[in-house]
A and B are shown apart, each in its own frame.
Chain A
Amino acid sequence: MAEVYNWHLGRSMAYAFPEAHPQKQFAAVFNINRCIGCQTCTGACKATWTFSRGQEYMWWNNVESKPYGGYPQHWDIHILQRLDEAHQAAGKQAEWDQAQAGESAPYGVYQGLTITEAAGAEQQALGYIPPDTEWRAPNFYEDTSTGYQGDRLGISTAGASLPEHQTWFFYLQRLCNHCTYPACAAACPRKAIYKRPEDGIVLIDQARCRGYRKCVEQCPYKKSMYRGTTRTSEKCVACYPRVEGSDPLSEGVPMETRCMAVCPGKIRLNGLVDIAADGSWAEAPNHPLYHLIKIEKAALPLYPQFGTEPNIYYIPPRWAPRPYLRQMFGPGVDEAIARYAAPSRQLLAVLQLFRTTQRMIFRFEIEEGPLVLETEVNGQPWQMFNDTVIGFDAKNREVARLSVVEPIHERPAERLNSI
């Protein structure tokens, strides 16, 4: 076991391999608040990668209804329970010390055990293999909310009032996190899983895989999947021909993946961030992902306590109970929701960039516009400006230009009914 630095946890941790970081890292931000649960992303991935024999049950991308839903069923409850048992056995608490938050520990310091630290001497990480019955559908408990608290007529007056809805669910969009410290790679006794130095994408070498399913067992997110037809495991490939710019459509510049590019809810923003030699994110305040994650801290990692440093970040749903969200996204939840509910000028502008182009955006600029609205959010004054955000691709060409206020085009009277 080596010691590696995990900035999500704000501390060093044990991992199977010593630190070796890619030059760039595949990453994305998902705005949970906007997802309509349409599964277009899920279908796009299936239609691209998993329509063949033995892949029938595979959904490399899936969208599940929280708190009850999950693919595989109850995956997060199962791993959280094992982690909890390990804490109890060790007499430890899975707590965060937020007082120690700083530059290299943005959410404070995690004082509990990761799945690697809780594993014991015999395994690389805590884990389990979900049986086939738990993989049957991409969204068990679809749209099932917590218990409805209505009045005599079945109407709830307080059900949907903020800050926390009394009756709630939300969609969680999931794919492989292309983790900085992948548990799947640590688990593989054959080193058949590798993280690409050019973009941090984690892949299973199909020539070396021997179907041991240690990755299926020890990926805490359950995003490595077994294919009985070939007797090997497969996983999300991050649509690497698109990310490389080698897909004919991409015209040589990195392109967003299939599941990102199809999203009608415009909840996804996908890109590549520069990684410094020590594994930290190279400072890039005008990179939209860097801005959302590092500067605004509006987007947070999924279950950071697992310790794999996942690279898909989420803007938490602002209506869900905070203790549940803190368990899922760590202690940064309250600040992230506060920033999202009353966004700064820059944040509001960057949020417009979601799903405006298939090209990955590497840099943005903001042209300031006039004040268009003055109001109050959560009892505080808040102003909205009609700024314009401009996105640039890998070759520094303009690929997106949007104003905060969406332009309105009025149809002339004589064409009112024309198509």
Chain B
Amino acid sequence: MSKRIDVESLNVYYGDFLAVEDVNIQIDPRAVTAFIGPSGCGKSTFLRTLNRMHEVVPGARVEGKVNLDGEDLYGRGVDPVRVRSQVGMVFQRPNPFPTMSIRDNVLAGAKLNSRRMSRSAADELVESSLRGANLWEEVKDRLGKPGSGLSGGQQQRLCIARTIAVKPDVILMDEPCSALDPISTLAVEDLISELQEEYTVVIVTHNMQQAARVSHKTAFFNIAGTGKPGRLIEYAPTQEIFNNPKNQATEDYVSGRFG
């Protein structure tokens, strides 16, 4: 399942500090959307509002609407816990659960929802998720070993496997390759391209080539200065953002003139 995200005039605050201002954006299903922009412009902040992960930070709050196929994530009575099992997240640094084996890592989220999973169903889910994350061949002989014993790139793919095991509609990724070497990065990028067949994928990246390689549409965020809120400057098909941007700031950024 893959769902469309519709954001309407969203403001994000940390306490009194307005971090992101008035974002309107429609994110397509079955596609990869990239967020780019200089450091501190609120990409992570905005991304985390798409699964209410920002609520982990005390004092963080939003105004506005985020619709997932028409259903407002911030509507009354919507449980953030359920939102997060619909909208999964992959973090900047690989973070498998260190106390769990590879197998248990994959099952960790899935078990939260369906506690009574038969052994064969669990085996199947482990294999399909690890295959989905292009990791199966590398770990199938050591599923009982700790996940923290894998390489960084393998750990990140394990985290992706863990996320897709929950069968979310959307997968958010915050600079998923920034802690990885080039080979591992390529493996994860390949994976991202495959994930779009089933999921809505949103990826924050500082790597222009990466955005160009994997995404269909790109959103450029910027800030006017420190202490000012981040804003969505331009949102268009990736080809257009990189080859033919409408906004001067976008052109400066993608051509490497600042940021």
Q: Do A and B bind each other?
A: no
Chain B residues within CB distance 8 Å of chain A: none
Chain A residues within CB distance 8 Å of chain B: none
